[in-house]
Structure 1
């Protein structure tokens, strides 16, 4: 490898003009056999393109140094690299974590090139509703709402949002970073060798949290001609606040370069404009005039009403001529209002739907073929689920009896306020005389339970190990969201494999919030339930013995789900040696770690459908997480955000193991049916 070292001085504006306070060391490396370039090369090119920021030293001959360097650089690297000339420097310094805030909601600024809203949502693993347009210099970019968490990414600690990208044959990490993720992803040296075709590559996007409830942090990539003032206007942020949040970028925060990633504390309600210098007497006169006009208007209105005699208007009784459909709609509306009133009286403030559509019962019936039994795709304790089509959209309709109002409203309250890629989306609802209906997005591959327990009998191929780790991570993110990223903390209370649904790409979504409960965020947040709810085999000791409910109830149940992913067994199953007795996976995992050789015991219990195609080290790590989740004492169990971090590491490790097989193994497909 031949390397050439150049030193370029550049200045930053001050009162005297430009000073020579900074030294940019650019290492340009050329390999003799292949054209590969390190990250500093891109930074160098970006700085050289910004000629107005490159300045002379005391020697006049150095005035042309940028041009000379660029010419020399171009002679060393032929035309094959011209396509990368548009890539700008990206200096990423993640925002430091605060001990007070581990998670929050944040926004990522997407510089749009040629993607539509649905494509952007897919790349960022969010719903299209979380992708909002914003105009910048006469072109449409997007703000993407994401959950932001404090994480340690290979030694880099800060706030991040993680997603994954399926690598295409012609992709490079730098192209994907710049063209899809606006140059914001953190480049992790240890992960880059795994950027290979067909791999699900982890993308770590820096984000930010602030203590102020009136602000949300936007991760923004500096564009051509941007100034701090422009950015502040665009994102409703004060320049001082931007500078304070980005002090680690440079000694002079007002100096910014195209491609830099900044954290912008955006005011949720916009910037308040205050007019100063207005004489007080002008304001006083304005108030007096307004009050006078209001008084005169009121007086005129009163006089008019006194002079106008009241007329008794007879309203003809048209109720006799109303059709039966109108009467049915009226009864439906009345029932709907009664249910709302009843539920609100029992369980807190007035319910407000801020998203789902109110469907008519006729629409629901037509969509499901009048609840044709051949369209039934599921059945639970509170109703049956049917496949349907409304317009051109495939939906799943849960039909519940009208006496299931508590479960009906529990789902409405939670899902109206939750929008996350790993939580099933509620599209709407309807209420009739005898039944209540919830309309969800249709999730194509059914429940995780169907894919784990006797999958071949149910028409599914067994899940590969990598698919299982991705499902575990997805489900953990969904649960973490309802615990930590909503205004109020919710407990699902019925986490199990049959309530985790898999979409077309085998990505998981948490479903069935019929037992969800609102809990506080204080240290004394335990709720005493009036009855035992949940599913046997997933219930923690404190719920069974004392009817206590906390967010650690979900953590315990998730531990059982992890053991199911490892063993392929149900939470409660019959042992072949003792068919008359039911055995619990909770007991199984505890016995494994009590064994003299836990690794061998775990290997013996691992799902035979995996056909020994798995990395034992990662299986063991997931089993350790499961055991931690299943701790007897709730306080000893981890938080879901901790589980997400640990599973993310297992996911990366599993991808590395998968890549080491060279792409010839059937484990690459997610299920055992080849590529």
Structure 2
């Protein structure tokens, strides 16, 4: 239990912020939930930045005359400094004068769980973890909203606001609602909101019959209107066919495109979206795609992969990346749609829409200004980039790990990416990373006992784990192995495959070079030779500017990820925790050198906010929200930013 005093808003003083974590159930590890954000004048982009989400995960809600927000987050059962419960973790960069109390009150609506020693971490420039309480329920009909009681609230009013049953609110918050009908400003409640946003009401029989009669009348009128429209259209089509041969050609072309879309979009099995993701996707015309890319001018090409070419484009004054794929690659096309239409995370490429033509399929993503991690690590100056600092590398490792962790643990279905590599990790203006290219992604079971057996070897040489080569076996631990290779690249600056100096016609893996060093990594601070061995493989572009202890830790994580036996590899959630701690230490180390870290942090913050504004031109032009991108009505279940 947490009880303390803080100011929540200009006019409202929270007298007693009282909260209890939501108790975990044995068979629900993770779920989607909402955090209720009380409006403090922040726009969606800033809210998204503070909660480490995309704007597509934020939904407006009206409380009296005030516009508040519901923030959709992945909620996970975990232990926070000895307290077990459901939490969502984000991070916050401390500014001068900040304290835990005012940050949680002003930014996180009093929903952050206080950990002993939090105030000691609140030093300007530090990136501190914020643990927000959330909840999970069995079944798919309800989602838990973490709600902070405001001035004038009643339990009945909260139930009406969030489409919930009063009895269930009382049941979930028994520790807080022991005195009938009494709640206090600042209490944090768990509210079970109906997924469809409509609270079930008890209606009288008379009202039910009125509804039924109204529905039947509407259906009858609609059917009659539809019949009239069909008859008129048939007559018009017959007249046009007789009068204009060009119209016939255009009609046939339209039918071919429509037929193709039906073939690709209605014969594939993509699960229906629920609740927050229930709108239709943006479907662009081929003409819009061609105009955006200047008819796929070669000067607009920014990437080439096994499944298509990627072009820079502008749609509605919005910069985008457009992947052009042959129609024969429909399997990969739908693999990306199936995954990205269900995922909204700041560290995963954002899908904006799609298009299809006679011979090609197109996926439209947000544009990533700084290209791939591969370009920044290997011959960066030739690519027009500066060398990555140690802190930047640590941040990129953490961002990438969070993106992979999300598809492993925080989606309704667990996915395996199957092609994690530095060229599929993209960097924005602030050098923040996003995982891209889900063309090989596969749905797997929630446990590693339910492995995915591939029919062919897929992925990229140099990143493939032993079990995938020997047995064509793919699990979430396959992604962990590939991530270990990425960490090795961040440490050494070398490629995953390197030409063998002894046999120039052959390639050898980076693992074969670093493994002897990593095997002795535990002895680094006990054995001077081991420390020297690690320094010998560290990227020379770092010029010795890195904290040896943190370098050791990253090498240790890489070694763990590259375990021969998949069972011995960590889960991505464990890696995220370790890298989060490393980042805080690295920023403190770099700040002590004279401010390099502070510059990096400021750049990251500014660009982190800026990148969330990128969609506004596109959304404005098409009068659509980002949510409309992720609900393809199909009856069966890179590049970007």
Q: What range is the shorter-chain TM-score in? A: 0.7 to 0.9
Tell me if the contact between 1:340 and 1:351 (Cα under 8 Å) persists in the aligned partners.
no
Which residue of the partner structure matches residue 639 of structure 2? none
Matched with 1:216 is: 143
Cα distance change on mapping 1:263 and 1:418 into 2, 3 Å? same
Residues 229-266 of structure 1, C-alpha deviations (whole Å, 9 max, x = no match): 22222222333433333344576475432122222222
Q: In structure 2, what is the equivalent of residue 648 of structure 1?
A: 580
> 1:537 corresponds to which residue?
462
Indicate whether 1:372 and 2:372 are aligned. Answer: no
SS in 2 for 1:91: strand
**Shift of residue 472 of structure 1?**
1.8
For residue 618 of structure 1, give the secondary structure of its aligned residue in structure 2.
helix
TM-score by length of 2: 0.81
Query: 3-state DSSP class of the match of 1:404?
Result: helix
Q: Give unmatched runs, 5+ long, in structure 1.
A: 1-38, 47-81, 302-310
Offset, 1:114: 0.9
1:215-236 Cα offsets, whole Å, 9 max, x none, are 2121111111222222222222
- Counterpart in 2 of 1:315? 238
Shift of residue 355, structure 1, vs aligned partner: 4.2
Aligned residues: 577
Q: Specify whether residues 607 and 249 from structure 1 end up closer, same or farther in structure 2 by C-alpha distance, changes over 3 A only.
A: farther
The answer to which structure, 1 or 2, has the higher relative contact order (CA under 8 A, 6+ apart) is: 2
User: Aligned to 2:257, which of 306, 311, 332?
Assistant: 332
Q: Work out whether 1:470 is the aligned partner of 2:400.
A: no
Deviation sequence 1:379-419 (CA, Å, 0-9, x none): 11111111110011110011112222221121122212222
> Which consecutive residues of structure 2, in runs of 5 or more, have no partner in the other structure?
225-233, 525-529, 606-641
**Cα drift, residue 435 of structure 1:** 2.0
Cα gap change, 1:475/1:248 in structure 2, threshold over 3 Å: closer, same or farther? farther
Q: Are 1:142 and 2:69 counterparts?
A: yes
**How many Å apart are 1:624 and its aligned residue?**
2.4
User: Equivalent residue of 1:90, what SS?
Assistant: strand
Question: Does the CA contact (< 8 Å) of 1:246 and 1:263 recur in 2?
Answer: yes
Report the Cα offset of residue 581 of structure 1: 4.5
Paired position in structure 1 for 2:86: 159
Task: Name the counterpart of 2:547.
Answer: 615
- CA distance, structure 1, for counterparts of residue 568 and residue 493 of structure 2: 26
Q: Distance in 2 between matches of 1:626 and 1:109?
A: 38
Separation in 1, partners of 2:106, 2:235: 70
Task: Encode CA deviations 1:507-548: one digit per residue, 9 max, x unaligned.
Answer: 211111111122233665223222111100111112111112
Deviations 1:554-605 (A, max 9, x none): 1221121122222222111235576554332333443123338445133332
C-alpha contact (below 8 Å) 2:12/2:151 kept by paired residues: no
The equivalences for 1:200-215 within 5 A come to 200-215=127-142
1:73-472 to 2 correspondences below 5 Å: 86=13, 88-169=15-96, 171-249=98-176, 252=179, 254-269=181-196, 270-275=198-203, 315-316=238-239, 317-318=241-242, 320-322=245-247, 328-340=253-265, 344=268, 348=269, 355-472=280-397
1:576–1:523 Cα change, 3 Å: closer
TM-score between both structures, scaled by the size of structure 1 = 0.77
When the two chains are superposed, the root-mean-square deviation of aligned CA atoms in Å is 3.7
Describe the superposition over 1:458-489 as per-residue Cα deviations: whole angstroms up to 9, x where unpaired. 22122222222222222222222222232322
Larger Rg: 1
Secondary structure, aligned partner of 2:331: helix
CA contact (8 A) 2:518 2:555 kept: no
Cα displacement (A) at 1:491: 1.6
The residue number in structure 2 matching 1:666 is: 596
Distance 1:256 1:571 in 2: 58
1:96 and 1:407, CA in 2 relative to 1: closer, same or farther beyond 3 A?
same
